[in-house]
Amino acid sequence: MIDELDGRLIELFTAEPRIGVLEASRRLKVARGTVQARLDRLARDGVIAGFGPEIDAAALGYAVTAFVTLQLRQAGGHDPVAARLAQVPEVIEAHTITGPGDMLCRIVARSNTDLQRVIDVIVDVAGVERASSVISLATQIPYRTLPLVRAASNRS
């Protein structure tokens, strides 16, 4: 799927995103065209989804993160509910899941008080039967994919 050079390339750009193709080729000691081709291929294959800016919700004032498990009314299915949840800015992510719950959402809020408001909004969404939430107290491992890249490109 990806080889060792791809792995080094991704690691390099993760560590120093602004270096550019030329500098990357120097660091990796390969021709510029190679870096360019690899990058194009990784992007085409969807391995690299994009280079967008990573926004820190906390820095925007959304200091509280919580995970909400939703139980939905049987009728209507998941998609309409998801569409309505998508209207709520504080819903950062949503998955349908196995198990007793039907949906798991990641939400953010400005404070614990604000979290109450956000949860109320969610519970008010048509199709949502009940919601149970847990608050993230600390992020022990921030979202990461580098270990996967290393594993997939096999080198320790």
Partner DNA sequence: TGAAAAGCTGGACAATTTGTACAGTGGGCC
Partner DNA sequence: GGCCCACTGTACAAATTGTCCAGCTTTTCA
**Which spans of this chain sit near a copy of itself (rule: CB under 8 A)?**
1-2, 10, 13-14, 17-18, 42, 45-62, 65, 67, 78-79, 82, 85-86, 88-99, 101, 103-106, 108, 134-152
CB of 59 to DNA, least distance (A): 17
Region 30-49 residues binding DNA, contact defined as CB under 7 A: 30-34, 36-38
Alpha-carbon torsion, ordered 43, 40, 7, 14, to 10 deg: -70
Reading the block at residue 87, the tokens are 């209207």
The Cα–Cα gap between 80 and 82 comes to 5
CB of 104 to DNA, least distance (A): 39
In this complex, which beta carbon is closest to a copy of itself, that of residue 29 or of residue 46?
46
Reading the block at residue 97, the tokens are 């899941």
The Cα–Cα gap between 121 and 94 comes to 15
Q: Of 24-32, 79-87, 105-113, 137-145, which part binds DNA (CB under 7 A)?
A: 24-32
Query: For residues 88 and 124, is the Cβ–Cβ distance under 8 A?
Result: no
In this complex, which beta carbon is closest to DNA, that of residue 6 or of residue 102?
6
In this complex, which beta carbon is closest to DNA, that of residue 1 or of residue 141?
1
The one-character DSSP state at 52 is P
